[in-house]
């Protein structure tokens, strides 16, 4: 394409884009002044006047909206990282179960993966919350004297209490994500050539030792990118917490919008917080990736 034509086309696209955005913003401004809301962030420092069931830091309803949002952010972070760890452990176990020789184990894990992947996450979360926790008798489901206790109040392990909302979210997210992680792991293991398996077997190395010291290190470069995208999905899916009543960042934004009507500002806050979550996760994974590449160089 000629240079002049290129510039002409881009100018045209630019004008169309700017005018569309301009019309939208103009409409927005008209609507905001009509409803008398305007656009500012002063409300952030007014008292929130709603209670939160779960707060890792001290909070009461006379604290500001900004503090409530920060608590929601911490709650999100808490559920994302704990289910990330649980999902990884479960996913690795199921992914390995699909690759071992025992065909029964393979069948069971394949069934698990199809059932989990073919039903919506929201349905699974509701199942865990309403069936898994709330329908338990007031008393208990499992009660081993002050060590481990599951009831409709949540889970209690050695004095550490997890509320039923948090536990339902943790289980739902971890089990859902583990099915996807298992597929990533299986794909990574299958990407290592058959000859590697035959080679370590012919050297007399046991199956389990060979898997962990020969196959998995080679599969990791193929696994890490897939794992990263699953972690990002997990972070985004954690917003479904609102369905079980866990106060994560999205649920708190939702409450604030219902109270103050500040939809645009809250949407921007949500956008920025997810940008932060995504940066956090992808940077951690990038660091991990570099660690693996470096460790390979020295070997």
Partner 1 sequence: MLNITLNSIKISLQKLKKTLFSTLLNTIISLVIILITCLVCLNTFGWLLYNANWKVITSNLPLYAFGSFPPDEQWRPATWIISLLLLSIVTLFGPEWKWLRKNLISAWAGTVPLGLYLLYGGIGLSPISSRHWGGLTLTILLTVCSSLLSLPLGIILALCRQSSLQLIQKISSIFIDVMRAVPLIAVLFFGQLLIPLFLPVGIEVDRVWRAIFAFTLFVSAYIAEDIRGGLQSIPRNQIEAANSLGLNQYQIIRFILIPQALRIALPALTNQSIGLFQNTSLMAILGLVELLGVGRSILANPEFIGQYIEVYIWLACVYWFVCTIMAILARHLEQRLTINQANF
Q: Residue 27 interacts with partner 1 (CB under 8 A)?
A: yes
**Distance in angstroms (rounded) separating the CA atoms of residues 117 and 120:** 8
Q: Residue 237 interacts with partner 1 (CB under 8 A)?
A: yes
DSSP conformation class of 299: -
Shortest distance in whole angstroms from residue 154 CB to partner 1: 18
**Distance in angstroms (rounded) separating the CA atoms of residues 14 and 11:** 5
**Using CB under 8 A, which of the segments 46-54, 152-160, 270-278, 288-296 binds partner 1?**
270-278
Q: Pull the structure tokens for residue 98.
A: 């699909």
Site for partner 1 in 89-148 (CB under 8 A): 101-105, 108, 115, 118-123, 126-127, 130-131, 135
Cross-strand bridge partners of residue 151: 154
CB-hemisphere CA count at 13 Å for 69?
A: 22
Closest to partner 1 by CB, 123 or 142: 123
Taking a C-beta distance cutoff of 8 angstroms, is the pair 97, 108 a contact? yes
Pick the binder of partner 1 from 263, 280, 284, 285 (CB under 8 A): 263
Q: Residue 69 interacts with partner 1 (CB under 8 A)?
A: no
Burial class (CB in 10 A: 0-12, 13-18, 19+), 264: middle
Q: Residue 204 interacts with partner 1 (CB under 8 A)?
A: no
**Using CB under 8 A, which of the segments 40-48, 57-65, 185-193, 257-265 binds partner 1?**
257-265
Q: Residue 236 interacts with partner 1 (CB under 8 A)?
A: yes
Shortest distance in whole angstroms from residue 263 CB to partner 1: 5
Shortest distance in whole angstroms from residue 249 CB to partner 1: 10
């Amino acid at each position: 394409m000629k240079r002049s034509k290129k510039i002409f086309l881009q100018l045209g696209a630019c004008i169309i884009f700017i005018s569309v955005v301009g019309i939208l913003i103009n409409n927005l401004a008209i609507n905001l002044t009509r409803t008398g809301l305007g656009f500012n962030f002063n409300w952030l420092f007014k008292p929130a006047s709603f209670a939160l069931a779960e707060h890792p830091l001290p909070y009461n309803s006379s604290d500001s909206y900004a503090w409530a949002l920060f608590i929601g952010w911490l709650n999100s972070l808490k559920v994302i990282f704990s289910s990330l760890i649980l999902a990884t452990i479960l996913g690795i176990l199921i992914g390995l179960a699909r690759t071992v020789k025992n065909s029964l184990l393979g069948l069971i894990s394949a069934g698990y993966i199809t059932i989990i992947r073919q039903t919506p996450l929201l349905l699974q979360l509701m199942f865990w919350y309403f069936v898994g926790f709330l329908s338990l008798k007031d008393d208990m489901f499992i009660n081993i004297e002050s060590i481990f206790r599951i009831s409709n109040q949540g889970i209690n392990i050695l004095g550490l209490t997890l509320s039923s909302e948090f536990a339902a979210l943790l289980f739902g997210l971890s089990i859902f994500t583990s099915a996807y992680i298992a597929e990533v792991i299986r794909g990574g293991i299958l990407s290592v050539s058959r000859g590697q398996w035959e080679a370590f077997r012919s050297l007399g190395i046991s199956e389990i030792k060979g898997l962990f010291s020969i196959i998995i290190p080679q599969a990791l470069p193929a696994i890490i990118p897939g794992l990263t995208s699953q972690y990002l999905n997990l972070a985004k899916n954690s917003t479904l917490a609102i369905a079980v009543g866990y106060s994560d960042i999205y649920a708190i934004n939702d409450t604030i919008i219902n109270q103050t009507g500040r939809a645009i500002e809250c949407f921007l806050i949500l956008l920025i917080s997810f940008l932060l979550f995504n940066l956090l996760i992808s940077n951690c994974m990038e660091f991990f990736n570099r660690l693996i590449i470096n460790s390979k160089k020295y070997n």
